[in-house]
Structure formats: structure tokens, C-alpha cells
Structure 1
Amino acid sequence: MIAAAALLTVTACGEQADTTDSGAGGNGDAPPASQELSRAPEEVPHDGPVPVGQIDSKALPEGYPVDVSVSDKGHTLTVVAQEGGCTKASAELAEETGERVTVTLIESNPADKNVMCTMDMRYPPLTVELDAPLGDREVVLDHEQATH
């Protein structure tokens, strides 16, 4: 008998929630939940990881990380670089067109060849600022070696 009463209470509560969710008894100003959800993706900019299929990483050395994300409503591109020992990584926005954004990752080695260097690897996140949101444009990652 207690189980039957509990089931009746749960069913009654569920039915009441269903009528309020459908808009019955509301103030008439709020759109149904389905309309609110359909508008949300248009208002939210594409911030987060850039899909692998949108990244051209052919110019990177073998084993180099391919990790790109976008933030600041699509205006800031963050690329994970690789450096180790005495090398220092930096990034430059090489080109920004309507179809693609090219970022050059620069690995700088010390000019003095007699410097003792550690054998550690580091993966610093480097940022470049875009004039326009990334959107669906391709991200091309280029790589250069330099001395400092």
C-alpha cells in the first residue's frame, strides 16, 4: 500500500511538471524551451578546440603536438608548441585570409654551441590574435628553426 501511494505521488508530480514545461499556465512572454535551445548555437561563438580536420599540420616535424584552440569569441588562437633544453618556442601570425590562418611556430636554438642544455621537453601554449573570428577557416601550422 505504501508503494502504491509513493507511485501515485511520483506520477502526479511528473504530470504537474509536464504541464508547466509545455507553457500552460505561463505568462505567455517566455518562448517554449525548444525555441530557446534552437537560438543558443547562433549566439554562442565557436570557442574551444579546433577540429583536427580544420588543421593542416604537414609542415610540423614528426611527433610535434597538434593542439589548437580558439577563445575570445574566435579572435585568440592558442597553439601548443614544443621546446626543450635550451630551445625556446614562439609563434607568429604569418597570414590571415578569408580561407585560412597560417601560424609559424619558431624553435629558437642558442647561438653558442657550447652551452650545456637540459634534456627536458616542454609544451607551452602560445597565442596569436586574429583580426576576424576563426570560424570555419583552415589553420595552417608552419615550423621554422632559428638561433637566438
Structure 2
Amino acid sequence: MCGLGLVLLAATACGEQTPTVGSGSGDATSSEAAPTAPTIPATDLPPVMPGGPRQMQPPADTAQVPATRVDSSALPSDFPREVFVSADGKQLFIRAEEGGCGRAAAEVTAQDARQVVVNLVENKSNLAGQMCTMDIRYPVVSATLSEPLNERTVVLTSAKRGY
């Protein structure tokens, strides 16, 4: 019985040992510590997004289109509904939605004297074996009009491609 106690004591003592890490020179007993690189807190790092950085806010010289002039009834219920117009009225900036390997874009599909129809498209990469993040981003995408928006209504639709 005493022998079994010694075996358990030895096994327990071995399990509590901490490994020694050397300076990388092959000498694990060296007392010199290797220089360490400064660490950056994860919260200070910019998000990494496929295809590079995205515009997350409309330009400063834009004005928000009143909600009464935005028809977003064709969008999914959780989709953003922000539309901005440039000072000259010819450029729309719309908050879109994209995720993972998707990239949002805006396409003007129709324009007349009453309304402008903009399709918010999320294009997904078709690269085989590509790993994609499981996040949702809300970039601002732009669409160019042939004439200034003025009092026309902006009609928003959405589509996904490459899924």
C-alpha cells in the first residue's frame, strides 16, 4: 500500500511541473529573457474585411433623404434604411448589408420623374475552399443618378448573387 502512495505522489508532482521556455537559442536554462514585441489590444485593431477597407459613413457633405421619400418595403425587415444624397443631388449613399465573404454594391435599375429604383446587391465570392467570417457589416455604398434626386422617391430593393 505504501508503494502505491509513492507512485501517486510522484505522478501528481510530475503533473504540476511547469515547462521552462528558453530564449530561442537552444539553451532552455538561460536566464536572459528574449525581447518581446509590443502588444496591441485586440480592440484597437481595425476590422479585417475581405477586399479591403469599406466606407462605413456617408461623406460629410451629404444630407439624409427623409424617410417619407424612401420606399424600403421590399427590403428584409432587419435591413438598414438610411439613404443620403450629395450636395449636387446626383449621388446617393445608401447603408447596405454584407457578411462573411459578401460585398455590397448599389445598382440603379430605373429612374423616372417620380422615383429612382436602387437594387442593393450582396455579391458573394465563389472561390472554392475560401474561409469566410460569420459577421454582418453595414457599409455605405454609392449609386450615381443621371439627374439630381430633387423630390423623387428612392425605392430600395435587394438581391444576393453567387450564393
Q: CA deviation at 1:117?
A: 1.3
Q: Equivalents in 2 of 1:115, 1:77: separation in Å? A: 32
Q: Are 1:76 and 2:91 counterparts?
A: yes
TM-score normalised by length of structure 2: 0.58
Q: Equivalents in 2 of 1:143, 1:60: separation in Å? A: 6
- Which whole-Å deviations, capped at 9, do the CAs of 1:13-35 have from their partners, x for residues lacking one? xxxxxxxxxxxxxxxxxxxxxxx
Q: Are 1:99 and 2:124 counterparts?
A: no
Q: Equivalents in 1 of 2:82, 2:133: separation in Å? A: 24
Q: Which residue type is aligned with residue 79 of structure 2?
A: Y
Q: CA deviation at 1:123?
A: 1.2
Aligned residues of 2:103 and 2:122 also touching (Cα < 8 A): yes
Q: Are 1:90 and 2:105 counterparts?
A: yes
Q: Which residue type is aligned with residue 134 of structure 1?
A: L
The sequence identity of aligned pairs, in percent, is 39
* Aligned length, in residue pairs: 102
Q: Which residue type is aligned with residue 93 of structure 1?
A: V
**Which position in structure 2 is the counterpart of 1:143?**
158
**Which position in structure 1 is the counterpart of 2:132?**
117
- Which whole-Å deviations, capped at 9, do the CAs of 1:72-114 have from their partners, x for residues lacking one? 4111111111101111111111011000000011111233575
Q: Secondary structure of the residue that 2:131 maps to in structure 1?
A: coil
**Which position in structure 2 is the counterpart of 1:63?**
78
Q: Equivalents in 2 of 1:115, 1:145: separation in Å? A: 18
- Which whole-Å deviations, capped at 9, do the CAs of 1:59-83 have from their partners, x for residues lacking one? 1112100000100411111111110
RMSD value, Cα = 1.7
**Which position in structure 2 is the counterpart of 1:53?**
68
- Which whole-Å deviations, capped at 9, do the CAs of 1:22-50 have from their partners, x for residues lacking one? xxxxxxxxxxxxxxxxxxxxxxxxx5100
Larger Rg: 2
Q: Secondary structure of the residue that 2:133 maps to in structure 1?
A: coil
Structure 2: 5+ residue stretches without partners: 1-61
Q: Which residue type is aligned with residue 146 of structure 1?
A: R
Q: Secondary structure of the residue that 1:53 maps to in structure 2?
A: helix
Aligned residues of 2:80 and 2:96 also touching (Cα < 8 A): yes
Q: Secondary structure of the residue that 2:68 maps to in structure 1?
A: helix
Q: Secondary structure of the residue that 1:119 maps to in structure 2?
A: coil
